[in-house]
């Protein structure tokens, strides 16, 4: 019954760009539409700082291994740096810089008082047992102590790290500072200053973006079909919310392949990545598809919510949906974007669609520094409000200058950053 996923197949026609190349290219594209000082654009091509540290770890057998960690801080004109820490063997300084630039745009388009940061350790987290992950995290926190802090740089979970990692990071930082400092990281468990609704937030904002896009195209959500690639934190939460709001989710997938029911799936009955990893195909459905086929289904909305670079020049022509909502980061390559634009497919970009994560991280930081917990209802209401404000700002650019949603989102972000830089001036 299992089918072969195709999204990982090597794409011989198009080598995906590095995140830094993509981030710089997006900046230049946006700059062409904004009345911005070229010096500001030049400054934004470079990070403020990239901290590289060595992280020695005593393994369980008593040997010591030294890992390399990074923290890229792109721009803080609008506030402290904000962005994830990932544990992955392929973490590099360059990748962190590119991802930190994306975070700058994401925070600005959501109008959050943060700039972009990203970091991590080049390590395979699966090769570590829990005690080793804890020791690695505590030492990494200590090595970064001078450059992070609630008013300087506020990390969050990312690939290979989770709420427990953030709790250890916060504890290590707090012990050295001599005071409990929950606002140094976000994405913590609620018992130590985490926010309700944080885990669900990127999926929720993705669902809100899909709902608004459908409405903008003058359609009824109750008559909308949806396919979601990736049934993890982002994909499953987005699918279930859209299902709750009346859409018909006809297909979902995990790394092993997709299930398809033209009459609609019961998304609550399909196990998510967290509930039972990689078990989507265990759910009974009339048809199974590959991960390539799910993207090409004849549905109204397709939501790539698994990994990057899945819509490429090789399959952009075959995307049958009218609306693509980017739940994952960077699912559409630059070349594919041009094809989709030409074909009139609406693409709601990642920096807007999945920005619920960083937005609720901002709410978490507010709760931490104010020592006041918000209810889940309040978090979701404020997220809805913040998303709609961002949506309206981007929509205004789409309409005013006849831009794609991606270009419009970058224009909103760049305009805000450029205005802040202009107002503050260049020191000294």
Per-residue binding string, ligand NAD, 133-172, x by CB under 6 A, is: ----------------------------------------
Pick from 3, 7, 143, 184: which binds ligand NAD (CB under 6 A)?
7
Please answer whether residues 325 and 409 qualify as being in contact, where contact means their C-beta atoms are separated by less than 8 angstroms: no
User: Is residue 99 near ligand NAD by the rule CB under 6 A?
Assistant: no
Query: How far apart are the C-alpha atoms of 225 and 171, rounded to whole Å?
Result: 45
For the CB of residue 5, give the shortest distance to ligand NAD in the complex, in Å: 5
Residues tagged active-site: 118
For the CB of residue 140, give the shortest distance to ligand NAD in the complex, in Å: 20
| Burial label, 212 (beta-carbon count in 10 A; 0-12, 13-18, 19+) | buried
Residue number, 143 or 200, with CB nearest to ligand NAD? 200
Rounded to whole angstroms, the maximal C-alpha distance in the chain is: 66
For the CB of residue 316, give the shortest distance to ligand NAD in the complex, in Å: 17
For the CB of residue 273, give the shortest distance to ligand NAD in the complex, in Å: 4
Please answer whether residues 273 and 231 qualify as being in contact, where contact means their C-beta atoms are separated by less than 8 angstroms: yes
User: Is residue 5 near ligand NAD by the rule CB under 6 A?
Assistant: yes
User: Is residue 231 near ligand NAD by the rule CB under 6 A?
Assistant: yes
For the CB of residue 231, give the shortest distance to ligand NAD in the complex, in Å: 4
* CB within 8 Å of 342: residues ≥ 6 apart: none
User: Is residue 202 near ligand NAD by the rule CB under 6 A?
Assistant: yes
**Parallel, antiparallel, or unpaired: how do β-strands 346-348 and 323-325 relate?**
parallel
Query: How far apart are the C-alpha atoms of 52 and 121, rounded to whole Å?
Result: 10
Pick from 133, 233, 267, 332: which binds ligand NAD (CB under 6 A)?
233
Residue number, 143 or 254, with CB nearest to ligand NAD? 254
For the CB of residue 20, give the shortest distance to ligand NAD in the complex, in Å: 16
Pick from 354, 367, 380, 386: which binds ligand NAD (CB under 6 A)?
354
Number of residues that bind ligand NAD (CB under 6 A): 26
User: Is residue 357 near ligand NAD by the rule CB under 6 A?
Assistant: yes
User: Is residue 278 near ligand NAD by the rule CB under 6 A?
Assistant: yes
Strand ordering across the sheet containing 346-348 = 287-289, 257-260, 248-254, 225-229, 301-304, 323-325, 346-348
Residues between 24 and 53 that touch ligand NAD (CB under 6 A): none
Bridge partners, residue 96, by sequence: none
**Parallel, antiparallel, or unpaired: how do β-strands 248-254 and 153-157 relate?**
unpaired
User: Is residue 255 near ligand NAD by the rule CB under 6 A?
Assistant: yes
| Start-end of H helices in 232-355 | 233-244, 291-295, 334-342, 350-353
Q: What is the DSSP letter of 286?
A: S
Query: How far apart are the C-alpha atoms of 103 and 205, rounded to whole Å?
Result: 16
Q: How many residues does the chain have?
A: 428
User: Is residue 392 near ligand NAD by the rule CB under 6 A?
Assistant: no
Per-residue binding string, ligand NAD, 311-340, x by CB under 6 A, is: ----------------xxx-----------
For the CB of residue 132, give the shortest distance to ligand NAD in the complex, in Å: 21
Query: How far apart are the C-alpha atoms of 332 and 338, rounded to whole Å?
Result: 10
Residue number, 193 or 232, with CB nearest to ligand NAD? 232
Of 36, 172, 34, 30, nearest in space to 101 by CA: 30
For the CB of residue 361, give the shortest distance to ligand NAD in the complex, in Å: 9
Stretch that binds ligand NAD, among 209-217, 219-227, 300-308, 401-409 (CB under 6 A): 300-308
Please state, as a whole number, how many other Cβ atoms lie within 10 Å of the Cβ of residue 338.
14
Residue number, 171 or 254, with CB nearest to ligand NAD? 254
Residue number, 21 or 32, with CB nearest to ligand NAD? 21
Stretch that binds ligand NAD, among 24-32, 33-41, 251-259, 415-423 (CB under 6 A): 251-259
Query: How far apart are the C-alpha atoms of 31 and 384, rounded to whole Å?
Result: 29
| Burial label, 235 (beta-carbon count in 10 A; 0-12, 13-18, 19+) | buried
* CB within 8 Å of 193: residues ≥ 6 apart: 170, 182, 183, 364, 367, 368
Pick from 186, 224, 229, 346: which binds ligand NAD (CB under 6 A)?
229
Query: Given the rule CB under 6 A, which residues bind ligand NAD?
Result: 5, 7-8, 202, 229-235, 253-255, 273, 278, 291, 305-308, 327-329, 354, 357
């Amino acid at each position: 019954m299992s089918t072969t996923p195709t999204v990982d197949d090597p794409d011989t026609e198009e080598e995906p760009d590095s995140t830094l190349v993509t981030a710089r290219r997006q900046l230049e594209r946006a700059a062409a539409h904004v009345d911005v000082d070229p010096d500001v654009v030049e400054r934004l091509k470079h990070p403020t700082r990239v901290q590289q540290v060595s992280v020695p770890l005593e393994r369980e057998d008593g040997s010591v291994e030294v890992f390399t960690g990074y923290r890229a801080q792109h721009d803080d004109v609008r506030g402290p740096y904000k962005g994830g820490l990932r544990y992955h063997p392929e973490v590099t300084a360059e990748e962190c810089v590119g991802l930190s630039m994306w975070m700058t745009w994401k925070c600005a388009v959501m109008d959050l008082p943060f700039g972009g940061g990203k970091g991590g350790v080049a390590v395979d987290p699966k090769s570590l047992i829990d005690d080793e992950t804890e020791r690695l995290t505590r030492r990494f926190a200590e090595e970064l102590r001078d450059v992070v802090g609630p008013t300087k740089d506020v990390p969050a979970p990312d690939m290979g790290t989770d709420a427990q990692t953030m709790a250890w990071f916060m504890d290590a930082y707090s012990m050295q500072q001599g005071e409990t400092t929950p606002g140094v990281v976000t994405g913590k468990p609620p018992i130590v200053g985490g926010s309700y609704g944080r885990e669900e937030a990127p999926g929720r904002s993705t669902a809100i973006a899909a709902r608004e896009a459908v409405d903008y195209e003058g359609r009824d959500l109750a008559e909308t079909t949806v396919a979601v690639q990736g049934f993890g934190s982002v994909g499953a939460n987005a699918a279930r919310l859209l299902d709750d709001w009346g859409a018909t989710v006809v297909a979902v997938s995990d790394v092993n392949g997709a299930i398809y029911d033209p009459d609609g799936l019961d998304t609550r009955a399909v196990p998510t990545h967290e509930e039972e990893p990689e078990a989507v195909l265990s759910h009974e459905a009339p048809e199974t598809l590959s991960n390539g086929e799910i993207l090409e289904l004849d549905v109204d909305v397709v939501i790539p919510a698994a990994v990057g670079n899945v819509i490429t020049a090789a399959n952009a022509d075959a995307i049958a949906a009218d609306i693509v909502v980017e739940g994952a980061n960077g699912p559409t390559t630059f070349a594919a974007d041009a094809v989709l634009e030409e074909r009139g497919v609406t693409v709601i970009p990642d920096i807007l669609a999945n920005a619920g994560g960083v937005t609720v991280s901002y709410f978490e930081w507010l709760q931490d520094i104010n020592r006041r917990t918000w209810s889940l209802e309040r978090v979701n209401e404020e997220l809805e409000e913040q998303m709609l404000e961002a949506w309206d700002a981007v929509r205004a650019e789409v309409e005013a200058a006849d831009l794609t949603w991606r270009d419009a989102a970058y224009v909103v972000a760049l305009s805000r950053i450029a205005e802040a830089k202009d107002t503050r001036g260049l020191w000294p």
